[in-house]
Every structure is written in C-alpha cells, then in structure tokens.
Amino acid sequence: MNRSAARRLRSRFMVGLMGLAVVLAVLPLLLILGTLIAKGAGSLNLAFFTNVPVPAGETGGGVLHAIIGTLMIVGVACLIGLPLGIGAGIYCAEYPASRLTFATRFVSDVLNGTPSIVVGVFAWTWIVASQKHFSAFAGSVALAILMVPMVTRTTEEMIKLVPHSLREAALALGYSRWRTSLSVVVRTTLPGIVTGSLLAVARVAGETAPLLFTALGSQYLSFNLDQPMAALPLVVFNYAIGPYEEWHQLAWATALVLILVVLVLSAAARLATRRKFTQNG
Amino acid sequence: MTAPDATPIRALGGARFGDRLFKALLTVAALAVPVLLGFLIWELWVGSRLAIDAFGFGFFTSSDWDPVEGLFGALPLIFGTVVSSALALLIAVPLSLGVAIFLTEFAPMRIRGPIAFVIELLAAIPSVVYGLWGIFVLIPFLRATIFPFLRDALGFLPFFQGPIYGPSMLSAAVILAIMVMPYIMSVSREVLLAVPNTQREAALALGATRWEALTGAVLPYARSGIIGAVILGLGRALGETMAVTMVIGNRHEIAASLFAPGYTMAAAIANEFTEAVENLHLAALSYVALTLFVVTVLINAGARLLIWRVARGGGGRGA
C-alpha cells in the first residue's frame, strides 16, 4: 500500500513539473508581446504610417517606405513561389508512387529547415553579383525559395485529406484526370491551400536575413524592383542596432506593426484550418 | 509516361492532351524542388571556390580572421555555433518535451488545443523581433540578475568567470532556446499523438501510474521520433541568424567563459557580407555559408528519417 502511494505521489509530482514547463513556455510569448505593446504602441499614429524617415537625430518620420517595400517584395515572391509550391504539392498528392514525389517531398522537408541566411547568400551570388547591384527582385527570389518547400508540403497534406471516393466519382462521370484534379480535388481543398500559402507568406514577411544583401534596405520610398528597397524587418534591424534613442523607439513601433501583420496572418490561417478539419470529421 | 489505357478514341484526344499538359506542368514544378537544392549547393560552391582553393580543410581548424591580411579561418565561428546551439538545446529540450508530454498525456482536453496554439505562435514571431527584445529586455535582465547569480554560485567553473558584458554566448543561448522550443514541442507532440492508445491503455491496465505508463510504454515507442524532433530543433538553432547576431557580441574569439562575446557562422555572414570588399573575404563567407548549408541539410535529413519511422502512416508530416 505504502509503495503504491509513493508511486502515485511521484506520478503527480512529475505531472506537476510538466505543468510548470507549460507556464515557463508560454511566459516568453506574453513578455515579448507585452513589451512590444508597451514600448511600441505609443509611437503609432497616422504620421507613422504615411511618412518616410527623417534624417538621423530628428524625431518623427514613419515607415511608409518599408510597408510598401514589404508588400512589393513579398508580393513578387508569392508570384514566383506559390505556383511552383502548389504545383509541386499537387504533383506529390496526385502521383504518390512516383520516385520524383519521394525526392520532392524529402527535399522539401530538408529545405524547410535551411537557414534563411544561406538562401540570401545564394540569391546574392546568383543575381546581385551578376547584375552588380542590389535589387528588391533578388530579395523576392530569396523569399520565394523559402516559400516553395513550405507550400509544397502543406498543399500535399491538404489534398491528401480529400476522400478518394470524391475523385473516383468524378472519374466515373467521365471527367478527365486533369479536370478531376483541378475542379474537384483542388477545388475541395482550396481553403486548405490558401491557409498553407498564408502561413508561408506570414513566415517570409518577417524574414530579415535573406534581404540583408539582396533588397539591402533604403531610406526612400521606391517602387522600382530593380533597385534597393526597404522592408519592415530590415527597418527593425537597422534601427535596433543604431545608436539613437529615437531609432530605438521607431524599432519598437515597427516591430509591433510587423508582428501584428505576421500574427494576424498566421493566426487566421491556423484557425481556418482547424475549422476545416473539424468539418471533415 | 506510357498510358496503359491507349484505346484510340478520337473524342478523348483532347482530354488526353489536357492530361499530358497538366502532368507536364506539375512535373516541372515538382522537379524544381530537388533541382533547387542542387543549384543552391552549386552556386555556393562556385562562390566559395576562391576560399576553398586558398584554405582547403584548414579553414575549419584555423582561428585567424584577418580581412586585411587575407587570412580566414572559421574555427571560432564553428565553436560559437556549436556551443550556443548545444546550450540552447540544454535549456529548450526539457521544457519543450515537458510541454509536449503534458499536452498529449495529462492536460485536460479543453486546454490542449489552445495552449499548443499559443506556443506555436512563438514560432511565428520574426527572428528580428526576438533580437530587438533580446537587446533591450533580455540582456539587461540577464546582466542584472541571472549572470551575477551564476557567477557567485558557479564561479569556480571556467564557464562562469570573467567580466559580465551584456551580449554574450549565454544570452544567445537563452534567446535561441526560446526560439527553437516551439519547433521541438510541436514535432514531438505530433510524434506522441501518433503513439497508439493501446500502448497507454495496456500499461494502465497493468496497474501502472500515469507517469509509469508514460515512461514505460509511450516514450520508448516514440523515442526515435522525439530524437528526430530534437535534431530538427538543433538544425534551427544552428542556422538562426538575426536574433543571435543582435545578442551574441560578434567577436572572432574562442572564450571559455559563457559571459564573453562570441560569434556564429550565420551571424558572421549577416554582419560582414555587405561590408566585405575583398573577393577572398566574400568567398570565405560563402564558404562558411556552404558549410552551414551542408551541415543543416544532413541534420534535417537525419531528423526527417527518424520522424518518418514513427509517424509513418502518411509518409511523414510537415513541421
């Protein structure tokens, strides 16, 4: 009896310890969000969103140039990365027995963990070095390379959830294979694919390392993809390591904007998937 | 692809052309992924040729880093990368395994989803925001409280001696630990969810406590998958760039003390690439990138194989 009581006590103790781990794990998130709001929210006003930077040392100035820059760089990255990623994902789901499927799936998983700075070096060697100037487009290519493996894997996972009977029904009705794929299978799983794409966008929108020596950053409002361009993460980085107190203020405010964009995108994406899963049973 | 259903019906001609086009387009997209891997390695190799020819494998054992003299050695970078990542895992692994186990085995059903969701949001925070928080919140806190405490309590060890700067190897390890935790947690949670319920029920039916059922029946089953999750976290930690470069101090030195500044491979690339003017300097940084890439590819491939062994069913799941 005594021994079993000790065993039960030990079990309770270990479970309690793991509950403590949960508290410790959630704490950083609360701390980070709390500091961001405390230090950043005060600087957020209309001018912050509609102005470009002022010379160092002066107060004021905004991040319009970086908001536009992030939109353009990430937008072009989507144009390159999403079709490739979604296409590769559909291939993996449609031809599961193919050897290429195995290779694509495995390489995607491996590339998913690639340090993004390495992709930046690659884009620099491939595009910046040969063009001999920094460009926002090189940044887009780097981000697209980061998106492809993520989108490939989520697309495949989503398509796999479509019941086989649906596909068989379409084929039995005389649909050709490609029409079955596109207008039945892909169509059914479209919300899932959108979710996966949103998650990928959320992730690359916050990436700094691949842009450091491709898009480079800029103090001016620019719409030219062939030239250096600002982006929100680059602004956070440059202002954070700069010497001026005003810059640190701007860094906090910009980080708050950046994290709102990223968290809203990824939270929305995750919630959408969750609902989809429960609907499917 | 040879079509087995090659009955020549004219009406189907269009459909078959559509099928072929469809498959061709998809194949191009699917091929792009492995080709990309090869192309990445090739470009990095070409970019580092100059440094590979000049230093060969001696690059990894030399501690010189003198752009003026044209001497480059990556040993301090490799040291910093390995030490900061290992320390980060030391902190992150017990925590994230605790959370994953608690969430799959013990927590009330209702709070499992929300907590996992919140912790996965940690993975969505951009690296540069961690860095910002690290510079202005974490480092001042560590310098004022934890570091002096460690020096007083464990100062007899060489790791906790010397002056306390803010930016240091230990600061980098702490921020890395927070960053890799959600990855290790979510993958090991998936692995634990893949353990059949019969394992748990059998152990409980034999009179085991819940803790004993976990250690005796669940963890052994999930072991290789959990090791995979940890290795995956290691891959993340090795390649993490922005947050580390903002808090580690960026000095090409090997110091025994964890309070001293250090440097990592990724941080060196981030800091010096735009400033490098000499071709050899650029090539050396590219050589560092190539090394980092090959190492993380090998680590991730190993981790994936381990995870696939447990969560076989659907041929592996994305992290």
Interface predicted TM-score (ipTM):
0.90
Q: Which of B47, B106, B133 sits opposite A35 (nearest CB)?
A: B133
Tokens for A104, please give them.
């694509």
Stronger pLDDT, A48 or A280, i.e. the higher one: A48
Q: Which of A96, A112, A121 sits opposite B44 (nearest CB)?
A: A121
- Hey, are the CB atoms on A255 and B210 less than 8 Å from each other? no
Q: Note the helical H segments in chain B.
A: 13-55, 75-101, 109-124, 127-133, 139-141, 147-154, 169-193, 197-205, 210-213, 219-239, 242-247, 265-272, 279-310
Reply yes or no on whether the pLDDT at A21 is more than 70. Answer: yes
Contacts of A263 in chain B (CB under 8 A): 121, 124-125
- Hey, are the CB atoms on A240 and B132 less than 8 Å from each other? yes
- Hey, are the CB atoms on A240 and B128 less than 8 Å from each other? yes
CA of A259 to nearest chain B CA: how many angstroms apart? 6
Mean pLDDT of B254-271: 94
Contacts of B135 in chain A (CB under 8 A): 240-241
Interface residue A97 vs chain B (CB under 8 A): no
Residues 296-315 of B with CB under 8 A from A: 296-297, 299-301, 303-304, 314-315
- What is the pLDDT confidence band of residue B313, given thresholds at 50, 70 and 90? very low
pLDDT at position A55 is 80
Interface residue B56 vs chain A (CB under 8 A): no
Pick the residue from chain B with its C-alpha nearest to A205: B126
Q: Smallest Cα–Cα separation from B316: which of B195, B184, B197, B190? A: B190
Mean pLDDT of B171-195: 93
Cβ neighbours of residue B187 under 8 Å, at least 6 residues apart?
Answer: B225, B228, B229, B232, B233, B307, B319
- Hey, are the CB atoms on B34 and A206 less than 8 Å from each other? no
- What is the pLDDT confidence band of residue B309, given thresholds at 50, 70 and 90? confident
Count of A-B CB contacts under 8 Å: 294
Contacts of B188 in chain A (CB under 8 A): none
Identify the residue among A11, A12, A18, A104 best suited for mutation to test binding to B, counting B beta carbons within 10 A and taking the highest: A18
- Hey, are the CB atoms on B33 and A152 less than 8 Å from each other? yes
DSSP bridge partners of A229: A216
pLDDT at position A31 is 94
Interface residue A101 vs chain B (CB under 8 A): yes
- Hey, are the CB atoms on B36 and A153 less than 8 Å from each other? no
Pick the residue from chain A with its C-alpha nearest to B42: A122
* SS3 at position A147: helix
For chain A, give the percent of residues with pLDDT over 70. 96
Computed over every residue of chain B, the mean pLDDT equals 89
pLDDT at position A43 is 86
Tokens for B103, please give them.
């969430």
DSSP secondary structure letter of residue B10: G
pLDDT at position B123 is 87
Mean pLDDT of A118-146: 94
User: pLDDT for B142-154, tens place per residue?
Assistant: 999 999 999 999 9
Angle between helices B219-239 and A116-123 in degrees, nearest 10: 40
Identify the residue among B115, B125, B206, B291 best suited for mutation to test binding to A, counting A beta carbons within 10 A and taking the highest: B125
Tokens for B183, please give them.
């990855």
- C-alpha A128/C-alpha A212 separation (Å) is 12
Mean pLDDT of A229-235: 95
Interface residue B242 vs chain A (CB under 8 A): yes
pLDDT at position B317 is 38
User: pLDDT for B85-95, tens place per residue?
Assistant: 999 999 999 99
Contacts of B94 in chain A (CB under 8 A): 21
- What is the pLDDT confidence band of residue A278, given thresholds at 50, 70 and 90? very low
Burial B90-113 (b: 16+ CB within 10 A, else e): ebbbebbbbbbbbbbbbbeeeebe
pLDDT at position B314 is 38
Q: What is the CA radius of gyration of chain B?
A: 24
Pick the residue from chain A with its C-alpha nearest to B48: A125
Q: Which of A111, A117, A236 sits opposite B129 (nearest CB)?
A: A236
CA of B95 to nearest chain A CA: how many angstroms apart? 5
DSSP secondary structure letter of residue A42: G
- C-alpha B286/C-alpha B55 separation (Å) is 13
Q: Which residue type does A57 have?
A: G
User: pLDDT for A60-112, tens place per residue?
Assistant: 788 999 999 999 999 999 999 999 999 999 999 999 899 999 999 999 998 98
CA of A47 to nearest chain B CA: how many angstroms apart? 22
Residue-range domains of chain B with CATH: 84-267+299-310 (1.10.3720.10)
- Hey, are the CB atoms on B115 and A121 less than 8 Å from each other? no
Q: Which of A110, A150, A266 sits opposite B124 (nearest CB)?
A: A266
User: pLDDT for B193-228, tens place per residue?
Assistant: 999 999 999 999 999 998 999 999 999 999 988 999
CA A207 to each of CA A120, A259, B130: distance values in angstroms, whole numbers, following the listed order: 10, 11, 12
Pick the residue from chain A with its C-alpha nearest to B299: A110
Reply yes or no on whether the pLDDT at B311 is more than 90. Answer: no
pLDDT at position B5 is 53
- Hey, are the CB atoms on A118 and B239 less than 8 Å from each other? yes
Residues 153-192 of A with CB under 8 A from B: 153-154, 157, 160, 176-179, 181-182
User: pLDDT for B69-120, tens place per residue?
Assistant: 889 999 999 999 999 999 999 999 999 999 999 999 888 889 998 888 888 8
Mean pLDDT of B13-31: 86
pLDDT at position A274 is 62
pLDDT at position B181 is 94
Interface residue B46 vs chain A (CB under 8 A): yes
- Hey, are the CB atoms on A106 and B301 less than 8 Å from each other? yes
Q: Which of A39, A104, A117 sits opposite B241 (nearest CB)?
A: A117
- C-alpha B258/C-alpha B247 separation (Å) is 13
Pick the residue from chain A with its C-alpha nearest to B126: A206
pLDDT at position B14 is 62
pLDDT at position A265 is 87
